[in-house]
Amino acid sequence: MVNKEKLFILFVTGRSGAGLSTVLKILEDLGYETMDNVPVSLLLGFFNKINLGEEKISSKAIAVGLNIRTSSFDAINFIKDLESIKNIKKFKLETVFLDCDENTLSQRYTKTRRKHPLAKDSNLIDGIRVENEIIKPLREIANLVIDTSLMGVNDLRQLISGNYTLKDTNTIAIGIKSFAFPNGLPRESDLVFDVRFLKNPFYDVSLRSKTGRDSEVGKYIMTDPEYKSFFDNLSNMISRLLPLYKAEGKAYLTISIGCTGGQHRSVFVAEEIANSLISSDYKVEISHREL
């Protein structure tokens, strides 16, 4: 959560193609003054001028994007400058690192037909790997690492706005997501629960084409003798954890519920959890990745 008493500076960096431009646009929509491609060698001087009142900022937060394309980019020197900026008492500073797996980055570059900045005459994967070694020190010092491999724009918006909103809030926003384990865990998850032990409606031919949103599927799952005690315990645990996360300063929490196909059990349990939290006056958003 953003510190309201100091000028908040958020550096956004990471792998080329991992979503830097998208994140800066999201932050701009949140009210940040955004800067991109500012030569790294000029950053320390710029923030010293802000500290001395020689540069005026209209917002209470600045987001600065930089990656391997940025002029005079040098990870080690940048980290040294970060330490100097952190020592300025008027500022509160954090760094976000955007990560992404090689296959997804390769697909993104192929789809957009853009050239990776370090690919040059070598192949794309070589360029991606060279960049990864260069920027690795930034990943190690980041306050938040976001793997965007399986994230859509809405997922990214929820995560960024939840962690870096400028609005005063007295509650915690909760994202509930259902998913299928064979397709991988949602990377943005804070809590993950496996409901594959529950009775599977897939094996009832009359329910196979339906989803956990259909009442017949819900009734079927609730006939499982383990369901009620499981759901009561899960609901109670989440209810007890939420105030603790809020006290820690967390503004957004993603709870993911998984099963085999992501159609029946995970969808039903996710809907039930969301309904129980909505009645408790929490801001809740629900999504079903496989539907």
Low-confidence ranges of the chain (pLDDT < 50): none
Domain boundary (102, 131, 164) is at: 164
CB atoms under 10 Å from CB of 59, counted, come to: 15
The gap from C-alpha 218 to its chain's centroid, in whole angstroms, comes to 30
Nearest to 135 by CA among 8, 40, 10, 62: 40
Q: Are residues 136 and 269 in the same domain?
A: no
| Whether residue 22 is found in the same domain as residue 98 | yes
Identify the pLDDT of residue 40. Answer: 85
pLDDT tens string 147-186: 999 888 888 888 888 788 887 666 778 899 999 999 999 8
Residue with tokens 């929509």: 29
pLDDT computed for residue 2 by the predictor = 56
Half-sphere exposure (CA, 13 Å, Cβ side) for 262? 16
Q: Among 105, 138, 164, give the residue marking a domain's end.
A: 164
Q: Are residues 135 and 191 in the same domain?
A: no
Distance CA 9, CA 46 (A): 12
pLDDT the model gives residue 116: 84
Q: Last residue of a domain, which of 136, 164, 192?
A: 164
The residues pairing with 7 across neighbouring beta strands, listed in sequence order, are 91
| pLDDT given at position 100 | 93
Q: What pLDDT is attached to residue 194? A: 98
Instruction: Tell whether 156 is covered by a domain.
Output: yes
- Give the total number of structural domains in the chain: 2
Statement to judge: residues 84 and 219 lie in one domain: no
The pLDDT value recorded for residue 84 is 92
* The amino acid at 41: S
pTM listed for this prediction: 0.65
Please give the pLDDT value at position 3.
Answer: 54
CA distance 262 to 24: 32
What is each CA distance from 240 to 13, 57, 243, 256, 280, in whole angstroms?
35, 41, 7, 17, 12
Does residue 1 lie within any of the structural domains?
Answer: no
> Could you give the CA distance from residue 108 to residue 76 in angstroms, rounded to a whole number?
28
Residues 151 and 182 in one domain: no
Helices (H), the chain: 20-29, 40-52, 75-86, 102-112, 124-141, 153-164, 215-222, 227-247, 265-278
The pLDDT of residue 281: 67
- Show the domain range for 82: 7-164
Question: Residue 53: what pLDDT?
Answer: 83
Q: Which distant-in-sequence residues (6+ apart) come within 8 Å of 65 by Cβ? A: 11, 12, 13, 20, 21, 23, 24, 34, 35, 36, 37
Long-range pairs for 74-79: beta carbons < 8 A, 24 or more residues apart: 74/40, 75/134, 75/135, 75/136, 75/137, 75/138, 76/137, 77/40, 77/41, 78/40, 78/43, 78/138, 79/137, 79/138, 79/141
2 domain-assigned: no
Residue 33 CA, chain-centre distance (Å), reads 20
- The answer on 201 and 68 residing in a single domain is no
Question: What pLDDT does residue 4 have?
Answer: 58
Rounded-to-integer distance, Cα 154 and Cα 160, Å: 10
12 and 141 fall within a common domain: yes
239 shares a domain with 96: no
